A and B are shown apart, each in its own frame.
Chain A
C-alpha cells in the first residue's frame, strides 16, 4: 500500500490562472461573440435605416415592380425592388445550374482520376481562377465574352426559338442580360465549388473505394456510388458557398446585366440585381427615401443569403441524418 498523500500536495499553491486556462477561455469566448454581435448589429442597423421606405411602401418596396427615384410628371417617386430581387435570383440560378455539374466533374477529375503529375499544376490553376478579382471577370465579359456569345448563341437562338419559348425571346440588343451574367457568375464560382469538392472527395477514406472495387465495381461505379455519396454533405456545402458568392456578386453583375428596371421574361433581356442596384445608386441617392429603399434592398439580399444558408444546413442535416462518425 502506498503512503496516502493529502490532496494539498497536488496544489501549486497559486490560483488556476497560472495555467492561463481561464484567460484563454474568456478571450476566445469574447472573440467568438464578436461574430454574433456583428451579425445582429448589421441586421439591426439595416432594419432601422430601411424604416422610412418600409413605412412608405410596406412590402411593395420588395415586391413592387416600379423603381423611379425621381419625381416626374407622372407622379411621385416609387420604389419597388422586385426587378432587382428577381434578377439576383435568376442570374444566380443560371450560374449554379451551369456551374454545379461542371464543378463536380472537375472536382472528381482532380481528386480521383487525374494523374498525380498533372494534379498539382491543375489544382493550382483552379485556385488561381478563384483569386481573380471580379472586376476582371466583368471587364473580360464586356469586351470578349458578350460580343462572342451574342453572335454565336443569343442571336441565333432567339431568332430560332424566341417565338416559341418566352424566356429565349429577342430582341437581343447589346447582349447584356441575365443569361450572360449567369454564365460569367458560373465561371466565377466554378473554381470555388471545384476545389472544395476536390478537397471533400480526397477526404473519403480509401477503405470506401476498396470496398466498392472489391465487390466488382468499375472505376466509374466506385466514384459515383461510393465516393460521391460519402461526401455529398460537403459537396452540397460547396455548392451553397458558390451560390452565396453568385448572389452577392456586385461588380461583374453591374457590368454585365444591363441595369434595367424592366421585367422581361427573356433571359437575353437586360435586368438588374439587388447588389448592382445598391452599388449603382447608393452613392448618388436623390432623397432619404431613396437611400432608405436601397438599404431595404440590401436588407432583402441579407435575408436571402441567410435563408440560403439555413436551407443548406437543413439539407446537409437531412442527407446526413443518422450518419455515424459525426462528419461535418
Chain B
C-alpha cells in the first residue's frame, strides 16, 4: 500500500514535470462524436494475429494518441484505418473499422476513395523527388484537380498551415522536396497530406526520425491542426503523447498469444495521472517497455 502510493506520487510529479507549461489537453465534452469506431477489430498477417479484438472510439476533431511498447500492434492498428495493408500479402482484417459509421473493410468500399479522406504522415519523411510545389500539388492532381490557379492557391494554403511557407516560398519551383532538412521534409509531408482536405490525419511516429527542435515544431503544428482534423498519432514517446493528445490509448502485446491488445483508453490527463489498469501504470511509470 505504501509502495503503491509512493509510485502514484512519483508518477504525478513526473507527469507535471514532463508536460509542464506545454500541456494543452482539453477536457473532452460528451457531445464529441466518434469519427472512427473500432469494433472487435483483429488483424492478421497470414496466420499471425497482430491485433486481437480491439474496440475503441476515436473522437472527431481531437488528437488521439496510441502508445505502447514495440510490437504491441499500434502501427498495425493505425495503418488498418486507411487500409495501407491492402498491398501486403496475406494481410487480413476481422471485425469492424467504422469511418463515419461505414465499415471500411466492407467489400464495396474503394480504398482509394477512403485514403482521399484519410491523410497519412509516416515515420520517415518521404517526400517525392519533385519540387517543393509539386510535392504538395501531386496529391491535388491525383485527386482530379486540374485548375492551375486553384492548385497554386491550395499549395500555398497547405504550406502555410504546415508552417513551412516562410521557409520555402522563395524556392517552391527551384528546390526538390528531398533537398530540405528532415524536419522541413516532414512538414512538407504534412502539407501534402492536408492539401486535399482529408477529414482524418494518421501519423505513424512522425517525429521518430527528427531532432528535438524539429519534433517540437511538428507538435506545435499538430496543435494548430487539431480543430480542423481528426488526428490519430502513434508514438513511442510518452511525453509527446501527453503533450499533444486529448485521448490516449494504451496497447500491449499479450505474452501468450503475442497479439496486440488494447489495455486502456481514456482522457490523456487521466491516463497519465490516474490510469485504471496496473499495466498502464507500470508502462507510464517506466516499469517496463
Cβ contact within 8 Å between B129 and A216: no
Measured in the bound complex, the distance between the Cα atoms of B4 and A121 in whole Å is 62
> In the complex, which residues of chain B have a beta carbon less than 8 angstroms from the beta carbon of A229?
128-130
A218-B120 CB under 8 A given contacts A208-B128, A230-B129, A323-B176: no
Q: Which of B224-266 contact A (CB under 8 A)?
A: none
Q: Which of A70-117 contact B (CB under 8 A)?
A: 116
> In the complex, which residues of chain A have a beta carbon less than 8 angstroms from the beta carbon of B129?
229-230, 323-324
Q: Which of B87, B115, B129 has the most CB of A within 10 A?
A: B129
Cβ contact within 8 Å between A215 and B192: yes
Cβ contact within 8 Å between A215 and B193: yes
Would you call B138 an interface residue if the criterion is a C-beta within 8 Å of the partner chain's C-beta atoms? Answer: yes
Cβ contact within 8 Å between A210 and B122: yes
A-contact bits for B88-110, CB 8 A (1 contact / 0 none): 01000000000000000000000
Cβ contact within 8 Å between A215 and B126: no
| Chain A residue total in the interface (Cβ 8 A) | 24
A241 vs chain B, min Cβ distance (A): 23
Closest B residue to A215 by beta carbon equals B139
Closest A residue to B178 by beta carbon equals A324
Measured in the bound complex, the distance between the Cα atoms of B87 and A212 in whole Å is 13
Cβ contact within 8 Å between A207 and B176: no
Would you call B196 an interface residue if the criterion is a C-beta within 8 Å of the partner chain's C-beta atoms? Answer: yes
Measured in the bound complex, the distance between the Cα atoms of B175 and A323 in whole Å is 10
> In the complex, which residues of chain B have a beta carbon less than 8 angstroms from the beta carbon of A325?
178
Interface residues of A, dominant DSSP: helix
Measured in the bound complex, the distance between the Cα atoms of B192 and A216 in whole Å is 11
> In the complex, which residues of chain A have a beta carbon less than 8 angstroms from the beta carbon of B112?
216-218
Q: Which of A44-76 contact B (CB under 8 A)?
A: none
Closest A residue to B144 by beta carbon equals A216
Would you call A221 an interface residue if the criterion is a C-beta within 8 Å of the partner chain's C-beta atoms? Answer: yes
Interface contacts (Cβ under 8 Å), in number, total 72
> In the complex, which residues of chain B have a beta carbon less than 8 angstroms from the beta carbon of A36?
none
Would you call B84 an interface residue if the criterion is a C-beta within 8 Å of the partner chain's C-beta atoms? Answer: yes
A320 vs chain B, min Cβ distance (A): 9
Cβ contact within 8 Å between A216 and B116: yes
> In the complex, which residues of chain B have a beta carbon less than 8 angstroms from the beta carbon of A324?
129, 176, 178-179
Q: Which of B115-134 contact A (CB under 8 A)?
A: 115-116, 119-120, 122, 124, 126-130
Report which of A211, A212, A214, A218 forms a contact with B82, defined as CB distance below 8 A: A214
B111 vs chain A, min Cβ distance (A): 8
A58 vs chain B, min Cβ distance (A): 48
> In the complex, which residues of chain A have a beta carbon less than 8 angstroms from the beta carbon of B87?
209, 213, 219
Would you call B189 an interface residue if the criterion is a C-beta within 8 Å of the partner chain's C-beta atoms? Answer: yes
Cβ contact within 8 Å between A217 and B126: no
Measured in the bound complex, the distance between the Cα atoms of B89 and A225 in whole Å is 23
Measured in the bound complex, the distance between the Cα atoms of B203 and A214 in whole Å is 11
Q: Which of A186-240 contact B (CB under 8 A)?
A: 205, 207-219, 221, 225-226, 229-230
Would you call A20 an interface residue if the criterion is a C-beta within 8 Å of the partner chain's C-beta atoms? Answer: no
B159 vs chain A, min Cβ distance (A): 15
Measured in the bound complex, the distance between the Cα atoms of B82 and A116 in whole Å is 24
Cβ contact within 8 Å between A215 and B176: no
A84 vs chain B, min Cβ distance (A): 42
Report which of A116, A211, A216, A322 forms a contact with B176, defined as CB distance below 8 A: A322
A191 vs chain B, min Cβ distance (A): 26
> In the complex, which residues of chain B have a beta carbon less than 8 angstroms from the beta carbon of A212?
128, 138, 142
Report which of A205, A216, A225, A322 forms a contact with B126, defined as CB distance below 8 A: A205
Measured in the bound complex, the distance between the Cα atoms of B84 and A212 in whole Å is 11
Measured in the bound complex, the distance between the Cα atoms of B116 and A213 in whole Å is 9
Q: Which residues on B are within 8 Å of A, measured CB to CB?
A: 82, 84, 87, 89, 112-113, 115-116, 119-120, 122, 124, 126-130, 138-139, 142-143, 176, 178-179, 189, 192-193, 196
* A-B contacts besides A207-B122, A207-B126, A215-B115, 11 pairs, CB < 8 Å: A210-B84, A211-B189, A213-B115, A214-B84, A214-B120, A215-B143, A215-B192, A215-B196, A225-B142, A230-B128, A325-B178
A-B contact pairs, 7 of them (CB 8 A): A208-B128, A211-B128, A214-B193, A215-B115, A215-B142, A215-B192, A325-B178
